[in-house]
Amino acid sequence: MREIIAAFVTQFLVKGQFAVLLYFLAVNGWYLVLLVSSLLELRRHMLLIADESRHLLLSSTLSPTISILAPAYNEEATIETSLRALLALHYPSLEVIVISDGSKDRTVQVLIEKFDL
């Protein structure tokens, strides 16, 4: 009789361990699914918030005027490209000031020709 009870208890404990292991794997698997889905949603939400705040900032009438100073000493070859890149910036109140102090090439003439100064 003692052997039967010992065998029963042993089988019960072995099967109980498997049940606990399966429960552990199921619960932690579900937690992993929730974690991955929440991280994906959090990433999407952060990108949305960043885009909204950028749009709100750029459409605000309270955003300050920004002046960009662009020194151009002997920059005849690249001044047009550089200035077009600066003018293409997306900001509501932006001014670009080109400073050409004594260039020995045609920097100022290129600016006058290309930008109707």
Could you read off the pLDDT tens digit of each residue along the chain, which spans 117 residues?
A: 788 888 888 888 788 888 899 999 999 999 999 999 999 999 999 888 877 777 777 777 788 889 999 998 888 889 999 999 999 988 888 899 999 888 888 888 988 998 887
Domain boundaries, the chain: 1-59, 61-117
Burial of 10-33, coded b for 16+ CB within 10 Å and e otherwise, reads eeeeeeeeeeeeeeeeeeeeeeee
Task: Find out whether 78 and 50 touch, Cβ atoms under 8 Å.
Answer: no
pLDDT the model gives residue 43: 93
H-assigned helices in 1-117: 2-59, 79-87, 107-115
The predicted model scores a pTM of 0.52
